[in-house]
Structures are given as C-alpha cells and as structure tokens.
Amino acid sequence: MTDISQKQEVRLQGISICPGIGMGRVHKMDLDILIPQDEIDISQVAAELDRYSRAVETARRRLPEHVAAVHGELSIEAQAIFQVHEAILSDESFHTRVRNRIAAEQKRAEFCLDKEAAALVAAFEAMRDPYLKARNEDIRDMADNLLGILSNRDRSLYRPMARGDAIISRHLHSSSVILAQRVGAGGFASESRALSSHAAILLKGFGLPSVGAVSGLLDVAQEGDRIIVEGTRGLVIVRPSLHTEEEYRQQKRGEQVPVFFPEVMPCRTADGIAVSLRANMENPEQIHLMFANGLDGIGLFRTEFMIAQDGRLPSEDEQYEVYQRVIHEAAGRFVIFRTFDIGADKQWGATRGCAGSNPALGIRGIRRHFLDEMGELRSQLRALLRAGGDRQIGILIPLVTTIDDVQRAKCILDEVGGELKSQGQQLAHRIRMGAMIEVPAAAISVQDILKEVDFISLGTNDLLQYFMAADRDNERVVQYNEPTHSAFLWLLEYIMRQASQIGRAADVAVCGEIASDPRMVPHLLRLGYRAFSITPVATQAVREVIAATRTDHGPGSAP
Ligand code: PEP
Ligand code: MG
C-alpha cells in the first residue's frame, strides 16, 4: 500500500494512450469525498439542518465558478449544465427530503444528501425519455458539488485548471478531454481502462501526452502535486525528484519536432507488399499531422466532433467552410468524411437525448438520420457536395446495418445532388461512397454491401463491441473487448475473404483503433488487409511493425 503522506516520488505504470511527455501540476477531474456514516445526537440535528441550508446557499452563490471550474467557461455545454444545476438547486422538495431524513435518521447532512441524490438518480435512470435519463449525470454532479462544500472540498475553490496542468481522472469522459485541450493542459492520466473510448481517441487526436489504466493514481496524486505523464512508455511519475524532473525536461527538449513531409511516405512490409496509410482526424487543426507523418490522405474525418467542441450543430454554411478548408489543406490527398455519427456514447449539447433507452443499440449514426433527423443528413450532404468542388472526396456512412441503409443513403445523396444542380450550384461530381462496417450483420453481408458502395471501412471499435457484446466504454468488461480473440480474428478473416471472392479486397480499409495497434497490425496484414486509417501519433510504431512483418501474400493489395 502506498503511503500518500510520504511526499516522495512515486512511479505508476499504466498503458500509453498518446506518446509524448507532459509535465505540470496535478488537476483532479473528479474528487473523492468520504461520506460520514455516523449517527448524530438529537441535540445536533438543528445544527446539521443549518449546515445543510448554508451549504445549499453557498452552492447557489458559487454555481458559476463551479460550472466554470468543472466544465469550462463559456461553452454552450457549460451554459446548459449551469441551467440544469440551478434548477436542481432551487428544487425545494429535494431539500425538504434531505432535511426530513437528517431529522428522522439522525445522520449527517452528507449521508442524507447522498442517499436522496442516489434515489433521484435512480428515478431518472428509470425514465424512458432519454433526455431526462441523461440528467442523472447533472444530479450527481450537483450532489458532488454540495458534498464538496459540506466537507470543505469545494471543487470551485480548487485552483482553476491552468495551462500546462496535467489532468488526472478516474473516468475517461470526452468532455474532460475537450476541456483539457481548451485550457492547454500539458498531459492527461486516468485510472480508466476504456482505451478505445472516444475520450482516448480525442487525446490522440489532440496529441496530448496521455496514459490510461493507471491503478491507484487518484490515491497517490494530490491536487497541485508535480507530475510527469510519460505518454510513450505509459508511465506516470508523481512528485518527481529534482533529478527526475531535470532528466525529463532534457528529454522533452530533445523531443522530435515533427518533420513536414511534402510527399506521401510509402510503406511496405518486409516482403515488399505496399500498404496504404491514411489518417484518422477529428478536426481541421490536425491536418498538419497527415503531412508530418507522410500519410496518404484522411481515411476517416469524424465530423461529429465539430459538435463536441461547442455542443451545437453547425449550420450547412459553417460545415461547408470546414469541409472546404479540410479539402483545400489536404492539398490533393484523398479525404473521406464520415457523416455525423451521433448517439450512444457520442452525444453533446444540443444533440443529447436522442439515443433511446438502450443507446448503443438504439438510434445512432445513420439510423438517427433516417429515423429522426433527415434534414440534418441532407444539409451535411449538401455541404459536402458543395465543398468537394472539382476534387474527389469520400463520404462514409456510419453504423450501416443492412443493405437498405446503404441504398437509402445513396438515394438521398442523389436527391441532394439533384437539388443543388437545379439551384445552379457547383457541386462535386467525383464522390466515392463508403459504408462503415461496425455491426456484425453488416460484416456478414459484406459482399452485398460492397456491391452498393465504392469502398468499406472497418470501424472495429464498434464492430468489436457489438460482436463481443461488451461496451467499449465500460471498464468492467474491457477484457472482452480484445481484438486478438480468435472469434474476432475469424470475423476479420471472413470479411476479407468475402471481399476477395468478388475481387474487391482493394476496397477494404480498417479505420478502428486496431489499425493503430502494433499488436494487431501483423494479424491484419496476414489476413490480407492493405489499407489502414490510423491515429497519426501511432504512425511511427505502425510503420515499424509493417516493415518488420512478412505476410503470406494475402488477397488484398494497396489501392
Ligand atoms: C470505429 O467504430 O471503429 C470507428 C472508427 O468509429 P468511432 O470510433 O468514431 O465510433
Ligand atoms: Mg464507430
């Protein structure tokens, strides 16, 4: 057991998320508050009631600071959270229940508040309306805020997150990562093992040195401690000695400044087979990474992260600007835009609450468009067609389940193209249409789907979670989300065999995180996969493993 009172250097081994060295002061994202379980004397009840009332008053007064400290200032998301907290804090019936419990059970305010908050969370949890259901996070946050005040660990009194801080967290939430990026954090370390979560994907996208699966981190590291996040080796050093700090400072100075490759850097296996490497991206600020790593275009542009940044859907014209910029800055390299994949774990601000009572199996990706938001798909396709100009672009449809999904998406693309033409608008006519293979049923029907599209891209993060029936964000079932499992390798082999049988191996790419995983790349190569879209920070490791792998001359060949 680590003695946290010792103010000495502690090294904790985790798993690398994004390479690089981050050094700074600890900023904890989630605090641990001990709930006192003791009973109080009847004579103390009045004082306890008074303590609770004062805490509620303080919480109301400090609400703006609290929301800013925990959720970031000024974002639309923060404003929405502010309103919800305000409503909950003003809910007298809730406070009355807490007070009644203090009086009846003669327990501390923290205990009674925690119990009532849990009951409220459970009530919201049981609601069918997904928007209301999602409010339980806000209730928990409000209760934690009050608990913090009651136990003198008010989060809004904590140092506001500052530039260069290293954020540490128990869970990996994309909102924390976006906040970290917004304030210019220097590193991120988490106890969470959900390494294919969107938060982890974002950390790589932002190039923020980060480490996951760091057991005991929140016990060992205290707010304000110095910390080093050694993303490359997956190591976290809490309260480093002067000697260690100096060593890492020197290493950091020597970190390679990315070189700009004006040309695509070809990539071959040890037995000379060409492999295409493209980049996964979440926003236009990352395009330089495609050049810096000599990658052959953008194999997956996750457009929905435009929403994650400020919680609102961009208009058609705003999207047009972004897509045009991406296409222009990609300077002739092929770009594949994925239409908004919203729902399940990807919900922010205005797009919250659309997923149904079992979100991952409910309304997300293209289903959301077909069922609820056709206008949104149309305006996105309009923006893409307009932005394409005379360049060839790819449009990729997320969460395709049946062939019908693909046919409908194609019809809508045609309709939108027709509309634009009739309005005299210039539009891209060189579109390559793709389907993401993320659902086992789509993987099984891969031949039929391939006949409808120009290419497919294997979204193995989702394909794996649906195949293994194990939530990719749930740390408790992370052991099932294991891509080297023989059943999953069988599925990967099946997909490539089916594509090869109809002569379409060259139209199959992999864009899930397994393509960036040096453990998985040799498997993929031997199964015949020749086109990967990877997280740019993994390029060097992926290139090295490709160069060292001999294949059995599988059926694919680089496009
Ligand atoms: C995937 O599911 O593998 C994928 C690339 O999409 P995302 O991670 O954005 O869901
Ligand atoms: Mg996916």
Name which residue leads in pLDDT, 70 or 91. 91
148-199 pLDDT per residue, tens? 888 776 554 455 677 888 999 888 877 678 778 878 899 999 998 888 888 8
Query: For residue 228, which phi and psi values (nearest 5 degrees)?
Result: -120, 130
Name which residue leads in pLDDT, 256 or 243. 243
DSSP symbol at 471: -
Distances in whole angstroms, Cα of residue 191 to Cα of each of 30, 77, 554: 11, 25, 39
Q: Are 284 and 332 in a shared domain?
A: yes
Of 549, 559, 512, 547, the C-alpha closest to 533 is 512
Pocket of ligand 1 (CB under 6 A): 201, 300, 302, 341, 438, 459-462, 511-512
Shortest-distance Cα residue to atom 6 of ligand 1: 459
**Chain-centre distance of CA 41, in angstroms?**
48
Q: Identify the CATH number of the domain in which residue 184 sits.
A: 3.50.30.10
In a domain, 1, yes or no: no
pLDDT of the residue at 312? 76
Atom in ligand 1 nearest the alpha carbon of residue 457: 5
Return d(Cα 398, Cα 377) in angstroms, integer.
Answer: 12
- Domains in the chain, number: 3
pLDDT of the residue at 2? 45
In a domain, 491, yes or no: yes
Of the three residues 152, 178, 205, the one that is the final residue of a domain is: 152
Atom in ligand 1 nearest the alpha carbon of residue 461: 3
Q: Are 236 and 292 in a shared domain?
A: no
- Report the separation in Å between the CA atom of 459 and the middle of ligand 2, taken as the mean of its atom positions: 5
**Chain-centre distance of CA 352, in angstroms?**
15
Atom in ligand 1 nearest the alpha carbon of residue 302: 9
For residue 427, give its domain range: 276-547
Q: Identify the CATH number of the domain in which residue 290 sits.
A: 3.20.20.60
- Report the separation in Å between the CA atom of 345 and the middle of ligand 1, taken as the mean of its atom positions: 11
Of the three residues 222, 254, 286, the one that is the final residue of a domain is: 254
276-281 and 531-534 as β-strands: parallel, antiparallel, unpaired?
Answer: parallel
Please count the CA atoms within 13 angstroms of the CA of 155 that sit on its side-chain side.
25
Quick one: which H or E segment has residue 468?
helix 460-468
Atom in ligand 1 nearest the alpha carbon of residue 196: 8
Sequence-ordered list of residues with C-beta below 8 angstroms from that of 9, at least 6 positions apart, any chain: 237, 238, 239, 240, 241, 244
Return d(Cα 56, Cα 48) in angstroms, integer.
Answer: 12
Q: Are 47 and 24 in a shared domain?
A: no
Angle at CA of residue 333, ends 327 and 334, nearest 5° = 75
Give the pLDDT band of residue 45 (cuts 50, 70, 90). Answer: very high
Task: Count other Cβ atoms within 10 Å, centred on residue 100.
Answer: 13
Q: Are 372 and 456 in a shared domain?
A: yes
Return d(Cα 456, Cα 533) in angstroms, integer.
Answer: 12
Q: Are 291 and 414 in a shared domain?
A: yes
Ligand that lies nearest to the alpha carbon of residue 400, given by its number in the listed order:
2
The identity of residue 132, as a single letter, is L
195-243 pLDDT per residue, tens? 888 888 889 888 899 999 999 999 999 888 999 999 989 999 999 999 9
Please count the CA atoms within 13 angstroms of the CA of 368 that sit on its side-chain side.
27
Give the pLDDT band of residue 559 (cuts 50, 70, 90). Answer: very low
**Chain-centre distance of CA 389, in angstroms?**
31
In a domain, 559, yes or no: no
Model confidence, pTM:
0.77
Return d(Cα 77, Cα 85) in angstroms, integer.
Answer: 12
Instruction: Kindly list the catalytic residues.
Output: 198, 511
Q: Are 74 and 128 in a shared domain?
A: yes
- Report the separation in Å between the CA atom of 265 and the middle of ligand 1, taken as the mean of its atom positions: 25
Ligand that lies nearest to the alpha carbon of residue 517, given by its number in the listed order:
1
Of 394, 332, 406, the C-alpha closest to 369 is 406
The identity of residue 542, as a single letter, is V
- Three-state DSSP at 202 gives helix
In a domain, 132, yes or no: yes
Q: Are 343 and 428 in a shared domain?
A: yes
Of 56, 78, 79, the C-alpha closest to 143 is 56
pLDDT of the residue at 512? 96
Return d(Cα 509, Cα 396) in angstroms, integer.
Answer: 12
Q: Are 146 and 165 in a shared domain?
A: no
Of the three residues 192, 224, 254, the one that is the final residue of a domain is: 254
Ligand that lies nearest to the alpha carbon of residue 302, given by its number in the listed order:
1
**Buried/exposed code over 521-553 (b: 16+ C-beta within 10 A; e: otherwise):** bbbbbbbbbbbbbbbbbbbebbbebbeebebee
Average pLDDT, integer, range 524-530? 97
Shortest-distance Cα residue to atom 3 of ligand 1: 459
- Report the separation in Å between the CA atom of 336 and the middle of ligand 1, taken as the mean of its atom positions: 14
Q: Are 456 and 542 in a shared domain?
A: yes
Q: Are 59 and 188 in a shared domain?
A: no
Atom in ligand 1 nearest the alpha carbon of residue 511: 5
pLDDT of the residue at 558? 42
Return d(Cα 437, Cα 401) in angstroms, integer.
Answer: 8
Distances in whole angstroms, Cα of residue 431 to Cα of each of 50, 384, 499, 516: 67, 10, 21, 27
392-409 pLDDT per residue, tens? 999 999 999 999 999 999
The label of the residue with tokens 């809910």 reads 91
In a domain, 37, yes or no: no
Beta bridge partners of 434: 396, 455
Ligand that lies nearest to the alpha carbon of residue 346, given by its number in the listed order:
1
In a domain, 463, yes or no: yes
Shortest-distance Cα residue to atom 4 of ligand 1: 459
Q: Are 328 and 448 in a shared domain?
A: yes
In a domain, 265, yes or no: no
Structure tokens at 513: 């995180």
26-39 pLDDT per residue, tens? 988 765 566 788 89
pLDDT of the residue at 186? 93
Give the pLDDT band of residue 5 (cuts 50, 70, 90). Answer: very low
Query: For residue 185, which phi and psi values (nearest 5 degrees)?
Result: -60, 155
DSSP of 490-551, one letter per residue? Answer: HHHHHHHHHHHHTT-GGGEEE-SGGGG-TTTHHHHHHHT--EEEE-GGGHHHHHHHHHHPPP
Shortest-distance Cα residue to atom 9 of ligand 1: 302
Average pLDDT, integer, range 293-314? 87
In a domain, 213, yes or no: yes
- Report the separation in Å between the CA atom of 450 and the middle of ligand 2, taken as the mean of its atom positions: 18
- Report the separation in Å between the CA atom of 457 and the middle of ligand 1, taken as the mean of its atom positions: 10
Q: Are 239 and 285 in a shared domain?
A: no
Q: What is the mean pLDDT of the chain?
A: 87
Q: Identify the CATH number of the domain in which residue 136 sits.
A: 1.10.274.10
Distance, first Cα to last Cα, the chain:
54
